[in-house]
């Protein structure tokens, strides 16, 4: 209690980007509790926003919580969320999280010089209140994450990935949820980094948004095994925890809020997330939301090798 009060008093001493990241750390956990409460209540309120593009009450409520929380503490920072929610709708007061995550704040001593004087107008926060919605509606709860990515001058530089159901198979009484966070120049925390098995080439891709270009591109990368799971956040966690060698998604379906936090965390540990041409993704506030040229993410393997394997027909079909 004492340390929390002390850090609040000295908040002006922390760089703005660290304060934002530390607020994202507490806010994702709050949003994760909302996601769990909706599924426990059972009234999912499913809406299809297009074709196979689901939204539930958990997506809407978690987004309201995150946007209200971050805009209260950082009113001059642009926040772009996946869901369209009514800004005038009443928010439960206890959904507004303004405290700072001590585990993140304590890294102030080795905070990267590069991000010390970042201005509010150069920051965009990308919010995916529930990544893996299709799987959430089907009870595949460990695919679900809450993503908040922070971009500076169009680059993904920091982010949090919260898994609200982490540990849910451990039985009653288990503490649910974990938060993985990172910043370029500082590193990534909250998980155990592992290398993928040698002599194999395990590829993860979409489970619920596949098509022929997607599967042809995965096949062209010569997988020894394909793991089809939900969520961009979940798939990048599989990468950094050494379960897979690459995340290959030759489709325009993923958006900036899907990739900003995962890309920042992956980049923080030396991995790569690009489109299928190898170009970096942009995250400034005017950018189109769709990642029209697909997604390729790798950690600890040769990114270029996968880029070279993706068929020319997929590259022709998916232009930036």
In the annotated binding site for Mg(2+), the residues are 82, 128, 130-131, 258
Query: What's the closest the beta carbon of residue 59 comes to Mg ion, in angstroms?
Result: 6
- Pick between residue 19 and residue 32 the one whose CB is nearest to ligand A3P: 32
| 239 contacts 83 by C-beta, under 8 angstroms | no
Query: What's the closest the beta carbon of residue 16 comes to ligand A3P, in angstroms?
Result: 27
Query: What's the closest the beta carbon of residue 194 comes to Mg ion, in angstroms?
Result: 24
| 274: annotated active-site residue | no
One of 23, 26, 59, 205 is an active-site residue; which one?
59
Single residue of 133, 163, 201, 217 touching ligand A3P by CB under 6 A? 133
The DSSP letter of residue 13 is: G
φ and ψ of 164, to 5 deg: -65, -25
One of 23, 56, 133, 205 is an active-site residue; which one?
133
Query: What's the closest the beta carbon of residue 294 comes to ligand A3P, in angstroms?
Result: 10
Residues 225-244 touching ligand A3P, rule: CB under 6 A, are 230-232
Query: What's the closest the beta carbon of residue 134 comes to ligand A3P, in angstroms?
Result: 6
Q: From the annotation, which residues make up the binding site?
A: 82, 128, 130-131, 258
| 127 contacts 99 by C-beta, under 8 angstroms | no
Contact flag: residue 208 with ligand A3P (CB under 6 A): yes
Distance CA 133, CA 39 (A): 12
Single residue of 101, 258, 263, 275 touching ligand A3P by CB under 6 A? 258
Distance CA 299, CA 297 (A): 7
Backbone angle region of 299, left / alpha / beta, with phi > 0 → left and psi within -120 to 50 → alpha: beta
253 interacts with, out of ligand A3P, Mg ion, none, CB within 5 to 8 A per kind: ligand A3P
Single residue of 125, 254, 276, 296 touching ligand A3P by CB under 6 A? 254
| 13 contacts 105 by C-beta, under 8 angstroms | no
Residues 39-68 touching ligand A3P, rule: CB under 6 A, are 53
**Helices then strands, each counted (H, E), the chain:** 10, 13
| 202 contacts 252 by C-beta, under 8 angstroms | no
| 3: annotated active-site residue | no
222 interacts with, out of ligand A3P, Mg ion, none, CB within 5 to 8 A per kind: none
Distance CA 41, CA 288 (A): 36
Distance CA 302, CA 174 (A): 38
Nearest to 85 by CA among 157, 19, 34, 25: 34
| 133 contacts 40 by C-beta, under 8 angstroms | no
Contact flag: residue 33 with ligand A3P (CB under 6 A): no
* Active site amino acids: 59, 133
Binding site for ligand A3P (CB under 6 A): 53, 82, 128, 130-133, 206, 208-209, 230-232, 251, 253-254, 258
């Amino acid at each position: 209690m004492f340390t929390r009060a002390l850090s609040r008093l000295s908040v002006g001493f922390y760089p703005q980007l660290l304060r934002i990241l530390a607020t994202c750390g507490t806010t994702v956990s709050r949003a994760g509790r909302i996601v769990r409460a909706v599924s426990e209540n059972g009234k999912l309120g499913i809406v299809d926003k297009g074709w196979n593009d689901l939204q539930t009450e958990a997506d809407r409520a978690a987004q309201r919580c995150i946007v209200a929380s971050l805009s209260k503490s950082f009113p001059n920072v642009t926040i772009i969320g996946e869901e369209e929610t009514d800004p005038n709708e009443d928010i439960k007061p206890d959904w507004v999280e303004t405290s700072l995550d001590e585990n993140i704040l304590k890294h102030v001593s080795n905070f990267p010089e590069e991000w010390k004087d970042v201005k509010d107008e150069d920051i965009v926060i990308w919010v995916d209140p529930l990544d893996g919605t299709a799987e959430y509606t089907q009870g595949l709860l460990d695919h679900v994450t809450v993503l908040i990515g922070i971009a500076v001058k169009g680059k993904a530089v920091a982010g949090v990935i919260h898994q609200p159901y982490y540990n849910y198979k451990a039985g009653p009484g288990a503490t649910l949820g974990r938060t993985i966070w990172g910043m370029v120049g500082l590193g990534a925390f909250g998980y155990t980094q592992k290398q993928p098995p040698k002599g194999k080439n395990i590829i993860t891709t979409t489970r619920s948004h596949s098509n022929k270009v997607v599967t042809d591109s995965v096949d062209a990368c010569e997988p020894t095994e394909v793991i089809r799971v939900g969520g961009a956040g979940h798939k990048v966690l599989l990468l950094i925890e050494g379960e897979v060698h690459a995340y290959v998604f030759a489709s325009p379906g993923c958006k900036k809020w899907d990739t900003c936090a995962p890309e920042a965390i992956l980049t923080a540990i030396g991995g790569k997330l690009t489109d299928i041409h190898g170009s970096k993704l942009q995250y400034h506030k005017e950018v189109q939301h769709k990642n029209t040229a697909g997604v390729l993410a790798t950690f600890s393997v040769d990114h270029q090798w996968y880029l070279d394997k993706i068929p020319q027909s997929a590259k022709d079909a998916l232009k930036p």
